[in-house]
Amino acid sequence: MSKPVTGPADPLGWASKPRSPIALAAIMKKAESDRQFRAIRDRLIKDGICTEAGRLLFRWTGIAWEQAT
pLDDT in tens, 13-65: 999 999 999 999 999 999 999 999 999 999 999 999 999 999 999 999 999 99
pLDDT higher than 80, residue 1: no
43's enclosing H/E stretch is: helix 35-46
20, 56 Cβ separation under 8 angstroms: yes
Confidence of residue 69 (pLDDT cuts 50, 70, 90): confident
Return the higher-pLDDT residue of 57 and 2. 57
Give the C-alpha separation, 19 to 35, whole Å. Answer: 21
Q: DSSP 3-state assignment of 66?
A: strand
Q: What is the pTM of this model?
A: 0.85
Other beta carbons within 10 angstroms of residue 25's beta carbon come to: 13
